A and B are shown apart, each in its own frame.
Chain A
């Protein structure tokens, strides 16, 4: 069309289009074409394909065999343990209310922010619908259906009250409300010691506390590392590098045995709280490095311009540098949260009953001996769904923020 061809060629081309066109060979279009191009393009590829098919066949046979013979009673009977551990039975409604609050907020955010929140909402809603269809006891299924309903109610509320600011404030507030609700000890709520928390509840609590509370410390360390003051700079570097150089399990171990002796006499500290301290101290070093990356990405001119218009050091950091720096590292922080979510399982080695710890103890239950596959597959699936969803969301977020495209 726009291409200029020598005269004779144009002539031939016209000839070809007027007479009946040769169809492309069968081997390059349609199903056969696809197969040929993607699976059997050369003899080496054909061999690889056959080996892969054999592998898939064997795995599929094994998987189907496992699914057909699996005895999921071990999961159904211990569902409460898996979800909340030894949380006092009469107080379990507090966990349910907390989950309901999150579901409500999620539904509202689905409507208000669309984009990723919409997908997260759909994914979690679908997950709970599927769970509600599984043969748990009736109460559990009603509760699962209730969660789905609450997502819908949240969505409806956001149709009426269209204030993003209000719901953002509610999101920020919710962890504190939920923490107070779960721990109790105020306003007539009986206290439930964190040592009784377990299962998925403990896993989530450790991950959220780990990232949430370590955030301010991480930002301080990152700023400290960039500081002009040698003492502060070297203190930050030393802290960050030492913590990043040792395994998390040694930090948890140290926190378990050292923290109680560090405390003044007469004060005691929960094992779960000790683990939380370990996670906060550990994650702070990693967050500091992430935030440092963001700080370095902010142009020098930004700080200099701010200084020129008369802002002081604190104002420059708080109003100019940090907002830009943090925005660009959101995906990396999500990544850190994902790895923390997986790493919370390490408290099982220290003897706490998080999801992995509960799995360990359920496997050794006498009446369910030999059902380790079912238990491990079940908790692996929980971790997988959580991590996969977060990874997916963070990839979308990365695209939306355009990180790495500048």
Chain B
């Protein structure tokens, strides 16, 4: 039996129509947010009557900010935007070095945590507990106030093996300056790359269709490294510059300032502790049976590691690792606690100089947001490569 809907009931009044209600609810939401924003802006414009326009013109003015550490040529007479770039570069220097070294430390820590050696595993566990359960800022104070600042003056610098000198100005280490034969060596590297690729292809073809392992993944990198190393020995493309105390300062080598060492070391040890736990969990997530099965199939230990354990562990590791990289990037803003002129430090300086509240904050937050986004995009691409292919 079919019910014939009467004409009367088929027309839903608009105040009970879900589609209309949805639109109305959202319009109300927007109006509330706008009203809230307008009230704030109203107060803001009254409070900021000095600065009637929102502009970034102040960036062209003279910065007059003395910055202790610059990667590019910089002088307080330079325009403001140049100071900002100096800060950004300083931040990048911390983030890049920090991410690489923290990952290595975390990898070592994670493996140590699972070591069959009881002592090593316990040391790794204690390291994690201490560094995870105290604030990063306190650790930075420790490295800077109780560490770097208590070091002897440059004149009495502590000499460490390998021509490394430790003083309250930071760390001076030998450095390799490229000399005139460096260009030739670069050509050699290029040639080595070509040879390695050719060897890779040839080895694959030679053994194709046979059951003999071709070993190209092993031999072509060895060929590459051999050519590069022989080239380096023959051409001597670097002049080793060994630091030497001359008067009140060191000459030669490269000087890593105490501020830079404090913030980078602090970030590496702090983030490394978190990554240690991530790596441990990742390795433990690979079931024993999988490893045993692949050994039973006849894969060698390293093949098992390369083809089974690592890809599966990485799938578990990469998402939380991304978070840690993002945290490291964001935590690099604590550099001002050790007086390292990073992005936040320079932004604060620019704000103090110009009093431009909103533009400075917008610029600073926008830049950090961009940094976070870049890291997230790179890591998501990596994640897409390793993640389980779902059907």
Chain A residues engaging chain B, CB cutoff 8 angstroms: 38-39, 41, 45, 48-49, 52-53, 55-56, 228-232, 235, 242, 244-250, 253-254, 257-258, 260-265, 342-343, 345-346, 348-349, 356, 359-360, 363, 372-373, 376, 379-380, 383-384, 387-388, 391
In this assembly, does B390 line the interface, its C-beta being within 8 Å of a C-beta of chain A? no
Which of B117, B129, B150, B348 makes the CB contact (< 8 A) with A48? B117
Q: State A245–B376 Cα separation when bound (angstroms).
A: 10
Contact of B369 among A245, A342, A380, A384 (CB under 8 A): A245
Which residues in chain B, 254-306, are within 8 Å of chain A measured between CB atoms?
A: none
**CA A252 – CA B369 in complex, angstroms?**
16
**B141 contacts which of A230, A253, A356, A391 (Cβ < 8 Å)?**
A356
Smallest CB separation, B145 vs chain A (Å): 5
Q: Chain A interface: which of B200-208, B243-251, B329-337?
A: B329-337
Our pick among A52, A247, A254 for the contact of B123 (Cβ within 8 Å) is: A52
Partner of B26, one of A232, A258, A343, A356: A232
Q: Closest approach, in angstroms, between the C-beta of A202 and any C-beta of chain B?
A: 14
- What are the interface flags for B114-128 relative to A under an 8 Å C-beta threshold, 1 for contact and 0 otherwise? 011111100100000
Q: Of B44, B119, B138, B330, which one neighbours A53 at CB under 8 angstroms? A: B119
Bound Cα distance from A228 to B21, whole angstroms: 12
Contact B119 A49 (CB under 8 A): yes
Give the residues from 118 to 176 in chain B that come closer than 8 angstroms, CB to CB, to chain A.
Answer: 118-120, 123, 129-130, 132-139, 141-142, 145-146, 150
A-binding segment of B3-11, B53-61, B71-79, B360-368: B360-368
CB pair B361–A250 under 8 Å, yes or no, is yes
Tell whether, in the assembled complex, residue B26 and residue A231 are in contact, meaning their CB atoms are under 8 Å apart: yes
* B93 interfacial contact with A, CB 8 Å: no
Q: Are A250 and B137 in contact (CB under 8 A)?
A: no
B25 at interface, CB cutoff 8 A: yes
Q: A250 near B146 (CB under 8 angstroms)?
A: no
In the complex, chain A residues whose CB is within 8 Å of the CB of B331: 247
Q: Across the interface, do B123 and A250 meet the contact criterion of CB distance under 8 Å?
A: no
CA distance A264 to B41 in the complex (A): 10
Contact between B44 and A349, CB atoms less than 8 A apart:
no
Q: A41 — nearest CB in chain B belongs to which residue?
A: B116
A391 touching B123, Cβ below 8 Å:
no
Besides A39-B119, A231-B26, A262-B44, 17 other A-B contacts (C-beta < 8 A): A39-B117, A229-B22, A232-B29, A235-B29, A244-B372, A246-B330, A246-B372, A250-B368, A258-B357, A260-B47, A348-B337, A349-B336, A356-B137, A380-B139, A383-B135, A388-B129, A391-B132
Task: For the complex of A and B, list the 9 residue pairs with the smallest distance between their C-beta atoms, beginning with the closest.
Answer: A261-B47, A38-B118, A387-B133, A247-B333, A342-B135, A247-B330, A231-B26, A245-B372, A345-B135
* Chain B residues proximal to chain A, CB less than 8 Å: 22, 25-26, 29-30, 33, 40, 43-44, 46-48, 115-120, 123, 129-130, 132-139, 141-142, 145-146, 150, 326, 330-334, 336-337, 344, 348, 351, 357-358, 361, 364-365, 368-369, 372-373
Chain B residue with the shortest CB-CB distance to A356: B137
| A87, B350: Cα distance in complex, Å | 34
Contact partners of B326 in chain A: CB under 8 A: 245
Distance, CA A15 to CA B170, complexed state (A): 74
Q: Are B135's CB and A38's CB within 8 A?
A: no
Chain A residues, Cβ within 8 Å of B146: 372-373, 376
Q: Bound state CA distance, A122 and B130, in angstroms?
A: 22
B108 to chain A, nearest CB (A): 12
The reply to whether B134 and A228 form a contact with Cβ atoms under 8 Å apart is no
Chain B residues near A262 (CB-CB < 8 A): 40, 43-44, 47
Enumerate 12 A-B pairs (CB-CB under 8 Å) in ascending A order. Answer: A38-B118, A228-B22, A232-B29, A250-B361, A250-B368, A257-B357, A261-B43, A261-B48, A261-B357, A356-B138, A356-B141, A388-B129
Q: Which residues of B contact A387 (CB under 8 A)?
A: 132-134
User: A313 vs B48: C-alpha distance in the bound complex, in angstroms?
Assistant: 43
* Residue from the list A254, A342, A379, A391 in contact with B365, Cβ < 8 A: A254
* B257 smallest CB distance to A (angstroms): 19
Shortest C-beta distance, B118 to chain A (Å), equals: 4
Q: If A229-B22, A245-B373, A246-B368 touch, does A359 touch B361 (CB 8 Å cutoff)?
A: no
Say what secondary structure dominates the interface of chain A: helix
In the bound complex, CA of A228 to CA of B197 (Å): 53
Q: Which of B120, B133, B331, B332 counts the most A-chain CB atoms under 10 A from its CB?
A: B133
Scoring A247, A260, A359, A380 by chain B CB atoms within 10 A of each residue's CB, the highest score goes to: A247
When A39-B118, A245-B372, A359-B141 are in contact, do A349 and B334 touch as well, CB less than 8 Å? Answer: yes
Tell me the bound Cα distance from A348 to B145 in angstroms: 15
B123 touching A55, Cβ below 8 Å? yes
Residue of B nearest to A45 (CB): B117
Task: Pick the residue among B136, B334, B361 that contacts A258 (CB under 8 A).
Answer: B361
Nearest CB of chain A from residue B11's CB, rounded to whole Å: 23
Distance in angstroms between the alpha carbons of A244 and B323 in the assembled complex: 11
Instruction: Judge whether B120 and A48 touch: CB under 8 Å.
Output: yes
Known: A359-B141, A363-B145. A343 touches B369 (CB 8 A): no
With A249-B344, A250-B333 known as contacts, the answer to whether A379 contacts B368 (CB < 8 A) is no
**Of B47, B119, B348, which is within 8 A of A253 by CB?**
B348
CA distance A202 to B142 in the complex (A): 21
Pair B145/A376 contact, Cβ less than 8 Å: yes
Give the chain B neighbours of A249 by CB distance below 8 A. Answer: 333-334, 336, 344
Q: How far is the CA of A391 from the CA of B348 in the complex (A)?
A: 35
Q: Is there contact, CB below 8 Å, between A231 and B30?
A: yes
Q: A230-B26, A263-B43 are in contact. Are A379 and B138 (CB under 8 A)?
A: yes
In the bound complex, how far is the Cα of B46 from the Cα of A264, in angstroms? 9
A53 CA to B123 CA in the complex, in Å?
A: 10
Q: Give B23 Cβ to nearest chain A Cβ, in Å.
A: 9
With beta carbons under 8 angstroms apart, the residue of A232, A242, A342 that contacts B136 is A342
* B315 → chain A closest CB, angstroms: 17
In the bound complex, CA of A356 to CA of B44 (Å): 32
- Which residues of chain B are within 8 angstroms of A254 by Cβ–Cβ distance? 361, 365
Cα–Cα distance between A348 and B47 once the two chains are bound (Å): 27
A49 to B40, CA, bound (A): 63
Are A380 and B138 in contact (CB-based, < 8 A)?
yes
Choose one: B117, B337, B365; the contact of A349 (CB below 8 Å).
B337
- Point out the residues of chain A lying under 8 angstroms from B30, CB to CB: 231
